[in-house]
Structure 1
Amino acid sequence: MAKTAVVTGATGFLGRQVLQVFSSAGWKAIGTGYSRANPPTLHKIDLSDADAVRSLLDEIKYDTLFHEHCNSHQLTTRWGAANRFPDKCDQDPDGARRINVEATQHLAQACNTHSALLIYISTDYVFPGRPGEAPYEVEADPEPTNLYGQTKRDGERAILEITQDTALGVILRVPVLYGKANQPSESAVNILLDAVWKAQENGAQVKMDHYAQRYPTNTEDVAHVCLDVAIKYLDAKDERQSLPKLLQFSSEDRHTKYEICKLLADIMGLPLAGMIAIGADPNASVQRPYDTHLSTKALQDVGISVRTQDFEAWWRREVKAYRK
């Protein structure tokens, strides 16, 4: 009998890929969303409503629940599966905690009740990213530098505490993501295409960060890792307690945002004279870490592939869709 996976935020940037990958692998994949959910294809649910979450999950016989970040479109309309963008968290700290922490608690409790595996997507921003510290192993001490990272760390703690006796919770930390998008603004990487075009305007002086180190990772690769984790942990059954509860996945492709813009401009044959590379801004409202590169050793140790698509090669294939 095919296994069943529930995917929160299935209308979002990563959620769509996870839903597709699980479905392609023969699973019954059930998605939830809010602002763009279209019943009955996707269940519309507000994850901050504990009673609604409990009611929906009581109706579904599921083996795995995947809980992921939402995308920028959801952030401009209503809180989605989890708040991914640091600036949005600071604008609504109470809302960030309701979704990134309290909703995560509700889902972890439901998974315990139904003996289902919860795969929780966390972030590299749980680490401080000071120069010289990366790559971070899973056992490194988290020390978030902004509210977003702190709420995601609190979500991690909630899962580890609630599922400690059942071994039904696993956390997968990932960095900034890119991939197939309905619109560039869904991703902090894809949206840089808009910045490249903005830099083509007469008199443009687009400022772009050339300090923080990024390791953009493709959503399709993350989705395949989630599938591999689900299979590995569900098959382990009674031996699941011996498997690590914290995992990390990341590409090794390293770029600043300015370097990404330069690469995209080169691919499209565009100049970048209208963009100005800038260093760290100590007065920024949200402080972002310098380098939070994640070690993938824990995944490799349990036999899961950490192979990723080449960043430049992917964009050389895909960027034609964004030509104007």
Structure 2
Amino acid sequence: MAKKVVVTGATGLLGRQVVKAFDEAGWEVTGTGLSRANPPKVLKVDLTRAEEITKLLDDVKPTVLVHCAAEKSPDKCANDPAGTKQLNVETPLLLAKETSSRGIILIYISTDYVFDGTPGAAPYQAEAETSPPNFYGETKRDGEIAVLEGSDKAVVVRVPLLYGSGENYESAVNVLLDTIWNKAGKEKVDMDHWAIRYPTNTEDVARVLKDVAEKYTSTDPSTLPKILQFSSEDKCTKYEICQRLSQVLALPMPHILANDTVDPNSTVKRPYDCHLSTKSLKDIGINVSTLDFEAWWKRELGAFRK
């Protein structure tokens, strides 16, 4: 009998790949969404309403719940603190309590922004003390605390900047394509050449989450780490990401200018370098390999190359 998994945020950039990874591995997958729900594969569930969560869990009876749904934009978080806290802190706590009472393993997706990224401090180990640089990071750190206190079957998985198949607006990496394609524009664009990023593909993250779920359902979770971290080792600034994408597209980018002080487009404080150590995953035998950035984009954008 196939194991069952619920994936929240199943219509998002990461959620779609997580659904695919579990489905291809033979799991019975139920996704949840809200505005982009598509029953019966992706059910419309308001995760801020306790009664909808309990009905979902009682109807599906999953072995694992992977919580991908969250407010991920630091700028949007700063502009809507109440809504962000509800989605990023209160909802995870509710999920932790409801999954714990049913013996369901909860995998909570967190972020490298729980660390302040002080120059010289990276790479951060999973057990390192957190110190979020902004409100978004604070809510994700508080969400971590909530799920770990609310369930003894919860595990936190931190990930960095993500890219993958989807609409450009869904990823801070993908959206840079729009800036490159807009070469006909007369205005110059300042691009951050200060903060270090580690762009990581959603296909890799989804594979790791599936492997974590299989590990934690086949082993006593009390003997396994409560916090795991996954990241590529691909070190670059946003400006360098633009350079690499422009090479893939064979398009010039004279309109994009490097700014090596702080991100000139940011209204919220960003960390310098939050590189996550993957030792916690390696220690339990999880494969931490990642796709090649350029090779993946060449495959993804082949039809658009000029």
TM range (shorter): over 0.9
Task: State whether residues 249 and 304 of structure 2, in contact with CA within 8 Å, keep that contact through their aligned partners in structure 1.
Answer: no
Contact 1:8–1:33 under 8 Å retained in 2:
yes
Return the match for 1:213 from 182, 196, 202.
196
Task: Indicate yes or no: 2:127 matched with 1:139.
Answer: yes
Q: How does 1:295-306 map to 2 (within 5 A)?
A: 295-306=277-288
Q: Helix, strand or coil: the match of 1:270? A: coil
* Cα-Cα RMSD: 1.3
* One-letter code aligned to 1:241: S
Determine the C-alpha separation between the residues in 2 that align with 1:19 and 1:138: 26
Q: Does 1:253 align with 2:241?
A: no
Equivalent residue letter for 1:45: V
Structure 1 unaligned residues grouped into runs of 5+? 69-80
State the shift of 1:48 in Å. 1.1
**SS of the counterpart of 1:59?**
helix
Give the whole-Å Cα distance in 2 for the aligned partners of 1:178 and 1:87: 18
- Does structure 1 residue 192 correspond to structure 2 residue 176? yes
Alignment of 1:245-284 (within 5 A): 245-281=226-262, 284=266
TM-score normalised over the length of structure 1: 0.91
Alpha-carbon distance change, 202 to 97 in structure 1, aligned in 2, over 3 angstroms:
closer
Distance 1:41 1:124 in 2: 30
Letter paired with 1:179:
G
Alignment of 1:101 with 2:89, yes or no, is yes
Query: Does residue 1:311 correspond to 2:299, yes or no?
Result: no
2:144 matched to 1:156? yes
Q: Is the 8 A contact 2:63 2:104 kept in 1?
A: yes
Q: Is the 8 A contact 2:193 2:258 kept in 1?
A: yes
Cα deviation for residue 285 of structure 1 reads: 2.4
Question: For residue 265 of structure 1, what is the amino acid of its counterpart?
Answer: S
Tell me if structure 2 keeps the 8 A contact 1:204–1:275: no
Corresponding residue SS for 1:141: coil
TM-fit CA distance, 1:318: 1.6
The amino acid of 1:261's aligned partner reads: C
| Distance (Å, rounded) in 1 between the aligned partners of 2:303 and 2:189 | 23
Work out the CA distance in 2 between the residues paired with 1:314 and 1:323: 13
* Count of residue correspondences: 305
Determine the C-alpha separation between the residues in 1 that align with 2:44 and 2:109: 20
State how far apart, in whole Å, the 1-side matches of 2:37 and 2:29 are.
Answer: 15
Query: Which range moved further: 129-138 or 279-288?
Result: 279-288
Alpha-carbon distance between aligned partners in 1 of 2:267 and 2:186, rounded to the nearest angstrom = 27
Aligned partner of 2:163 in structure 1 is 178
Give secondary structure in 2 for the equivalent of 1:196: helix
User: 2:269, 2:132 → 1: CA distance?
Assistant: 10
**1:26-41 map, 5 Å:** 26-41=26-41
Q: Deviations over 1:89-133 (max 9, x none)?
A: 001000000000001011111111110100000000000001000
Cα separation, 2, equivalents of 1:174 and 1:202: 34
TM-score (norm 2): 0.97
Q: Distance in 1 between matches of 2:57 and 2:161?
A: 29
**CA 1:109 to 1:202, structure 2 compared with 1: closer, same or farther past 3 Å?**
closer
CA distance in 2, matches of 1:126, 1:201: 38
Residue correspondence of structure 1 range 219-258 to structure 2 within 5 A: 219-237=202-220, 240-258=221-239
Q: Relative to structure 2, which stretch is displaced further, 108-117 or 313-322?
A: 313-322
- Per-residue CA distance 1:152-185 (angstroms, 9 max, x = gap): 000000011112xxx310000000101111x111
1:255, 1:271 → 2: CA distance? Answer: 19
Structure 1 CA distance for aligned equivalents of residues 91 and 223 of structure 2 = 27
Identity of aligned residues (%): 55
Structure 2 unmatched ranges of 5 or more: none
**1:8–1:31 CA contact under 8 A, matched in 2:** yes
- Give the distance between the partners of 1:317 and 1:185, measured in 2 at CA: 20
C-alpha contact 1:33 1:43 (8 A) present in aligned 2: yes
Q: Which residue of 1 aligns with 2:52?
A: 52
